[in-house]
Chains A and B, each alone.
Chain A
Amino acid sequence: MLNLTNGERMQLGRRAGLWLHEVMPPKLLDSPAVKVGVSISIATGLYGISFGALSAASGFDFWQTMALSLIMFSGGSQFAFIGVVAGGGSGVAAMTAAALLGLRNGIYGMQMNALLLPQGKLKYLQAQLSIDETTATASGQSDPDEQRRGFWTAGIGIYVLWNLFTAVGALAGNALGDPKQWGLDGAAVAAFLALLWPRLKGREPWAIAVVCAVATLLAVPFVPPGVPILVAAAVAAVFGWLSHARADEGLEPDIDPYAHRRSDTRGDHGEGAE
Chain B
Amino acid sequence: MNLWPWILAACVLAYATKLAGYFVPRSLLKNPRTMHIAGTMTIGLLASLTVVNAFASGQSLAFDARIGALVAAAVALWLRAPFLVVVIVGAAAAAGLRLLGWG
Q: Which residues of A contact B (CB under 8 A)?
A: 35-36, 39-40, 42-43, 60, 64, 67-68, 71-74, 77, 81, 83, 85, 90-92, 94-95, 98-99, 102-114, 117-118, 123-124, 126-128, 130-132, 135-136, 139, 180-197, 199-200, 204-205, 208-213, 215-217, 220-225, 228-229, 231-233, 235-237, 239-241, 243-244, 247, 250-255, 258, 262, 271, 274
Choose from A64, A77, A108, A191 the contact partner of B90 (Cβ within 8 Å).
A191
CA distance A186 to B36 in the complex (A): 31
Taking chain A's interface residues, is the majority helix, strand, or loop, or is none over half, making it mixed?
Answer: helix
Q: Does B84 sit at the interface, judged by CB under 8 A?
A: yes
Interface residues on B, range: 35 or more
Q: Which residues of B contact A (CB under 8 A)?
A: 1, 3-11, 13-15, 17-22, 24, 26-27, 29-30, 32-33, 35-56, 58-61, 65-66, 68-70, 72-74, 76-77, 82-84, 86-96, 98
Minimal beta-carbon separation of B28 from chain A (angstroms): 9
Choose from B1, B11, B55 the contact partner of A217 (Cβ within 8 Å).
B55
Given contacts A236-B43, A236-B45, contact A189 B15 (CB under 8 A): no
CA distance A205 to B40 in the complex (A): 7
CA distance A71 to B13 in the complex (A): 10
Minimal beta-carbon separation of A92 from chain B (angstroms): 7
Contacts of A224 in B (CB 8 A): 59
Contacts of B43 in A (CB 8 A): 196, 199-200, 205, 208-209, 212, 236, 250-251
Is B33 a contact of A190 with CB atoms below 8 Å? no
Given contacts A109-B18, A221-B59, contact A244 B10 (CB under 8 A): no
Contacts of A108 in B (CB 8 A): 18, 21
Choose from A113, A188, A236, A254 the contact partner of B26 (Cβ within 8 Å).
A113
Is B50 a contact of A196 with CB atoms below 8 Å? yes
Is A110 a contact of B24 with CB atoms below 8 Å? yes
Of the listed residues B42, B82, B98, the one surrounded by the most CB atoms of chain A closer than 10 A to its CB is B42
Minimal beta-carbon separation of A180 from chain B (angstroms): 7
Given contacts A91-B5, A114-B26, contact A190 B10 (CB under 8 A): no
Given contacts A99-B14, A127-B18, A136-B46, contact A189 B66 (CB under 8 A): yes
CA distance A130 to B7 in the complex (A): 20
Is B39 a contact of A232 with CB atoms below 8 Å? no
Is A81 a contact of B53 with CB atoms below 8 Å? no
Contacts of A199 in B (CB 8 A): 42-43, 46
